[in-house]
Amino acid sequence: MYFKKRVRFAFLLGLFIQNFIFGQQQLTPPGMFLDNMKKSGAQQLKSIAPTETEPLEAAIDPEKYIIGPGDLFQINIWGAVSEEHQVRVSPENKMVIPNVGEIAFNSLILNQAKKEIEQAIVNRYKRAQISISLVGLRKFRVFVSGAVRNPGSVVVNANTRVSEVIEAVGGFKTPLNVQQFTQQTLLETPSAEESVVKTSQVTQDEMTMANPASKRNILLHRQDGQFINVDLLLAMEGGDQSANPYLLDGDVVFVPNLQAEIGQVAIWGAVRNPGEFEYRNGDNLHNLILLGHGFTIDADKSHMEIVRFEADYRSTRTIKINLADSTVDPKMIMLLPDDRIYIRRIPQYHTKAQVIVRGEVKYPGEYYIIDGQTTLAQVVEQAGGYTGQASLAEASLIRKSVEDVEDPEFERLKKMTVEEMTEQERNYFKIKSREKAGSLGIDFIRLFLLKDKSADVPLLDRDEINIPPIGRTIAVSGQVVRPGLITFVSGQTFRYYVEKAGGYSWNARKSHIRVIRSQTGEWLKPNGDTEIYLGDTIFVPERPERDYWALFKDFMQIAYQIATIGLVLNQALK
């Protein structure tokens, strides 16, 4: 007796382990195995291993998915019996459930099909608990024709959209770049996978490939005779996936050529993707706004216009649209071929004006201004005022709005050599080259030290205020013994700094010394009383080399000519 119990225990243990190992794929509710073992006569049916999961873009919508031949269901029944079945819909659109019977489907959606299956099982097992799941999508063939690269049939599943099947046949036809040569024609194909083809003639089939494919007037022909217009441009650019439907058994997809010359609709102005788009029968304003990627934030929706051709095909009329009115639905505003939509922008919408302060202020950085109203003194005050190290004599205000304005004459002269310029052009070019672009002649000393408000100026957007630190030197350059920076001493003239630089070199041209003011960039011819200010530059030019023998010859030639003229005049007077 003891031996029989041990054998029975080992047998039950073996069955338990076997069920535990293989039961991972059986979807059996916890504890059901022991319950089923206790029930005598209970039928045990092994389930089929689920098929490989198909990649889905989202969960199947049971209110939209239509059941068809090849769909695979997982059916679990427990209670009075324990049964698990994987049942596939037959080519006749029927399902046979063991111990239950046959169920016929006729274009049912998933929810309806589940109800039919559940009702059939309940009729067989009164108190059964039921779980029904769609675990495998059917596969079928659809045919793709028209302006695609490789027309033909493609195997898809019921979760495949039109865009995917077109991609599967190589995508849309795109224009070929056809170049005619004397003896050969070079065809540059748009596919990187194809090589360049050289041929002496272009066939008619190859010439038709020059026409691009339509992306908005694709026809989907259903098996029941229904025609559906597919708009892949609206789906891809506008995000409206209802224009890119799922495929069903027996579908045929036809892609026509694009009619590029006429039949376009356009949207211009305050949209994110303005341009022209292919017209689709039944187009409305809402579709075109989607293709334009929606309004920009400054769009004036109350002032929209549709320019439309009249019945004579030449004259036009303008239709005013006010989408700011909540009663106006853009989906109800139908478009016609070659309509043009214009959307205005709100003038000066959220105008942002700011200036930047650099240098010797307490808080350098960007500051908000009211364009044309906030003044220089107000911004410097906002920046905490200038520091004790600020050089107001060298401070500057740069107006970027002026700097951006191109001087066409100066740009023209920059492309010329000095020899090509007239004397007047050379003078103009020299003066413009010395100017600091956009620099305003502001006297910071008079404004901030002398508190003269008449020196204050209103600021404009992108103005730059530069207040450099106090320098301790002035520059002496050119023909001096030791050119470079010299320590600044207030009240001294240029002669003092030339002396500190070691004096003039042997070839200095003393009569042409110039002082370049740091604040204005002005070139001055100094005299003995000209004071040098902090940051100024003293320039001592080089004396030009002269050929005295050539000068002597020129002088003698001129003297000879004068003497000859005098002699002639003297003889004429006699």
Q: What are phi and psi of 3, to 5 degrees?
A: -65, -40
- Residue 206's pLDDT is 54
- Residue 51's pLDDT is 45
* DSSP notation for 417-453: -GGGS-HHHHHHHHHHHHS-TTEE---HIIIIIS--G
Same domain, 269 and 210: no
Q: Please list the ranges in the chain whose pLDDT falls under 70.
A: 1-54, 176-210, 402-406, 431, 434-436, 519-521, 545-548, 551, 574
The answer to whether position 149 is within a domain reads yes
523-524 and 514-516 beta bridge pairing:
antiparallel
The answer to whether position 434 is within a domain reads no
Same domain, 61 and 166: no
Identify whether the C-beta of residue 436 lies closer than 8 Å to the C-beta of residue 396.
yes
* Structural domains of the chain, count: 5
Same domain, 126 and 167: no
**What token pair was written down for 502?**
């070691």
Same domain, 220 and 172: yes
Same domain, 53 and 108: yes
> Which residue do the tokens 């030290």 mark?
449
44-45 and 82-88 beta bridge pairing:
parallel
Distance separating alpha carbons of residues 526 and 501, to the nearest angstrom: 17
Extended beta strands in 225-298, E state: 227-230, 252-255, 264-269, 275-278
**What token pair was written down for 390?**
């600020």
Same domain, 149 and 251: yes
Same domain, 110 and 159: no
DSSP H/E element including 269: strand 264-269
- Domain containing residue 512: 473-540
Residues in the chain, overall count = 574
Distance separating alpha carbons of residues 360 and 92, to the nearest angstrom: 88
Distance separating alpha carbons of residues 358 and 398, to the nearest angstrom: 11
Q: Which residues are CB-neighbours of 562 under 8 A, at least 6 positions away?
A: none
Assign residue 119 the CATH number of its domain. 3.30.1950.10
Identify whether the C-beta of residue 500 lies closer than 8 Å to the C-beta of residue 486.
yes
The answer to whether position 280 is within a domain reads yes
Identify whether the C-beta of residue 264 lies closer than 8 Å to the C-beta of residue 338.
yes
The answer to whether position 568 is within a domain reads yes
Distance separating alpha carbons of residues 293 and 271, to the nearest angstrom: 7
- Residue 263's pLDDT is 83
- Residue 556's pLDDT is 80
Extended beta strands in 334-374, E state: 340-345, 354-359, 365-368
DSSP three-state, residue 266: strand
The domain boundary, picked from 206, 229, 255, lies at 255
The domain boundary, picked from 72, 103, 137, lies at 137
The answer to whether position 381 is within a domain reads no
DSSP three-state, residue 218: strand
A 10 A CB-CB count for 164 gives 16
Identify whether the C-beta of residue 442 lies closer than 8 Å to the C-beta of residue 397.
yes
Identify whether the C-beta of residue 364 lies closer than 8 Å to the C-beta of residue 294.
no
Work out whether the CA dihedral 262, 266, 268, 272 comes out positive or negative. Answer: negative
The answer to whether position 492 is within a domain reads yes
464-467 and 473-478 beta bridge pairing:
unpaired
Same domain, 33 and 96: yes
The answer to whether position 289 is within a domain reads yes
Same domain, 157 and 230: yes
**What token pair was written down for 267?**
């949207």
* Type of residue at 540: V
pTM of the full structure: 0.58
Assign residue 488 the CATH number of its domain. 3.10.560.10
CA distance readout (Å), 429 to 414, 418, 420: 8, 10, 12
Same domain, 302 and 326: yes
DSSP state of 241: G
Q: What are phi and psi of 170, to 5 degrees?
A: 100, 0
Same domain, 170 and 249: yes
Same domain, 148 and 251: yes
A 10 A CB-CB count for 323 gives 20
The answer to whether position 395 is within a domain reads no
> Which residue do the tokens 């076997």 mark?
18
The domain boundary, picked from 323, 345, 367, lies at 345
For the chain, give the longest Cα–Cα distance. Answer: 175
